[in-house]
Amino acid sequence: MPKKNGVKQMFRIISPLLIYYAVSYMVSQIVILWFTGRQWPKFLSENPDIGNANMDVLMQKTNELIMEATKKAMEYSNEIMVISAAILLPILSIMFFKDCKRRKACGMQNKKEVSWLKYAAVIGAGIVISIALNNIIMLADVASLSASYQETADRFYAADLLVQILGVGILVPISEELIYRGLFYDRLKDMWSVKRAAGFTCLVFGLFHGNIVQAVYAIAFSALFIYVYERFGTLKAPILVHIAANLTSLTATYFGMYQWIFQNVFRVGVVTAICAMISVSLLIFIHGEGIKCQENAE
């Protein structure tokens, strides 16, 4: 791929993240504005003399109204995330396929033949690794190191299950894979080695999740996502792992599976060990022969 100057290259790398934050901010501000509008009649009825108030009082009352609307909007953080992901998907997809076309024209992209068994294996790996990693993090009591984790988790699981499945389970994994593996990581590889690009992507992906519990989980899974992406040569692989892991975490929490596991220490050890053994077996199978690389004919 043709070399670009440092500033343009750096902007090209971080532009997917900037677009993500811009869209998320725009959607959240629209929701806050909507709640502000809904509360405006009540605000006027409770403050009939607001038109005659001095500027300081007016600013104070307006800030209180906006803060109340913001607090209300935060209760719908999952819905905001779903809307943001839905808006982002076509934008990110266009960027990703444009990059793929450019790499193919430069002879940098090879097509790989992958059997359906390999895809089934990555889905299975996403499920069992999610359970095992959740158990390990809970056993290590990493949550005690993060004051914000419980608040985030409460908001995370407060939405309707269907919204969680559609958003956190499906749309968000697809958009995050497009951003972090399909665009950010791939573009870093144009400038850095695979190992360096992978390490930095894992770090950024972990920091993106905002607290130490989710960061540990995200860094570990980011390494897995990059591994299957490189192994399969298609973004479908990390997307499937990501969806499988998120849906497992959602449904296991919703139906109380983790509570059942942690009722008994022996049960925790057995379930974690079984999941770890299955994970290793599936990763060995994924890493084994059976993925053939075809050079571009062009």
Q: What is the pLDDT of residue 279?
A: 97
Assess contact for 289 and 113: CB atoms under 8 A.
no
pLDDT in the model for residue 115: 87
Q: What is the pLDDT of residue 53?
A: 63
- Phi/psi for 190 (5° steps) reads -70, -20
Q: Residue 80 is encoded by which pair of tokens? A: 């905001």
pLDDT of residue 98: 94
- CA–CA separation, 285 vs 190, rounded Å? 30
DSSP state of 143: G
Phi first, then psi: give them for residue 293, nearest 5 degrees. -105, 130
Q: Residues 185, 201: contact at Cβ < 8 Å? A: yes
DSSP 18: H
Write the DSSP assignment of 87-156 as a string of letters.
HHHHHHHHHHHHHHHHHHHTT---EEE--HHHHHHHHHHHHHHHHHHHHHHHHTTGGGG-SSHHHHHHHH
Please tell me the pTM assigned to this model.
Answer: 0.88
- The packing angle between helices 236-254 and 116-139, to 10°, is 50
DSSP state of 2: -
Stretches where the chain sits below pLDDT 70 are 1-5, 50-54, 58, 107-111, 145, 147-156, 289-298
pLDDT of residue 266: 93
Question: What does the alpha-carbon distance between residue 118 and residue 107 come to, in Å, rounded to a whole number?
Answer: 26
**Residue 147 identity:** A
pLDDT of residue 292: 59
Distance CA 108, CA 194 (A): 14
Q: What is the pLDDT of residues 223-268, one digit of tens each?
A: 999 999 999 999 999 999 999 999 999 999 889 999 999 999 999 9
